[in-house]
Structure 1
Amino acid sequence: MSLDATRTEPRRDRPTSQEARRRLDHARGTRLIQLRALTDTGQTVEDHLTSAQKQSIERVLKEIDAAFARVEDGTYGTCLGCAKSVPAERLEILPYTRHCVACQHRAT
């Protein structure tokens, strides 16, 4: 299929719950592999860089779990800041995101 081909199917505002779960499962699996690789390096927790990486991965895993909860309660894909739909493109890149880009910028 060429890059300039037109799309024949309409674009949805949000992924289906099945698509969201699939993306979240993939994101979780990737982070668990990264965490396992860090653990297998044999470096101690005192290593500042390793410790920071582990904390970052664990934080994302918690965000993924929270996203699964939002899928279950029907709020997945809704920005927690402004209550508007998070663009599907953003959810493809960050399936566990809680905010649209504008609200994320305001939060940081």
Structure 2
Amino acid sequence: MPPDTSRTDPRAGRLTADDARRRLEHARSSRVAQLRALDEGGRTAADHLLATQAEAIGKVLKEIDEAFARVDDGSYGTCLGCSKPVPVERLEILPYTRYCVGCQSRATA
């Protein structure tokens, strides 16, 4: 089944800025809800696992904010590693990603 291109810019095969913002807002609100749930769960300073989860969520929120900046400056959807377009399917799943799959695997290796 071919991908739904109604959400993409047909000229560039990229998500539109509005769609990218909607996906990023959803990702942000999900992470904020996760942080609230951790806080409401009675987390203590000694609970290392929950503290680690909260830290990881905070890092993702920072990445989401950086993705909003890329939308604003027009560089959203361009891999920071190779400067090629990040496939729209990847952006639909992980809207705050900075890299294509190849560059991401090299960045984490």
Give the superposed CA RMSD: 1.8
Equivalent AA in structure 1 for residue 41 of structure 2 = T
Q: Distance in 2 between matches of 1:86 and 1:101?
A: 8
Pairwise CA distance, 1:21: 0.2
Residues 1:63 and 1:7: Cα distance change in structure 2 (over 3 Å)? closer
Moved more, 91-100 or 39-48: 39-48
Gapped runs of 5+ residues in structure 2?
Answer: none
Name the SS for the 2:15 alignment partner. Answer: coil
Which position in structure 1 is the counterpart of 2:57?
57
Equivalent AA in structure 1 for residue 18 of structure 2 = Q
Equivalent AA in structure 2 for residue 23 of structure 1 = R
Residues 1:8 and 1:71: Cα distance change in structure 2 (over 3 Å)? closer
Q: Distance in 1 between matches of 2:5 and 2:64?
A: 29
Q: Distance in 2 between matches of 1:9 and 1:81?
A: 26
Q: Based on CA coordinates, which of the two structures has the bigger radius of gyration? A: 1
Pairwise CA distance, 1:71: 0.1
Residues 1:43 and 1:90: Cα distance change in structure 2 (over 3 Å)? same
Alignment length (residue pairs): 104
TM-score (norm 2): 0.89
Equivalent AA in structure 1 for residue 46 of structure 2 = E
Gapped runs of 5+ residues in structure 1?
Answer: none
Residues 1:8 and 1:61: Cα distance change in structure 2 (over 3 Å)? closer
Equivalent AA in structure 1 for residue 96 of structure 2 = Y
Which position in structure 1 is the counterpart of 2:40?
40
TM-score (norm 1): 0.90
- Listed as ranges, the matches of 1:1-108 within 5 Å are 12=10, 13-108=13-108
Pairwise CA distance, 1:43: 1.6
Q: Distance in 1 between matches of 2:29 and 2:48?
A: 24
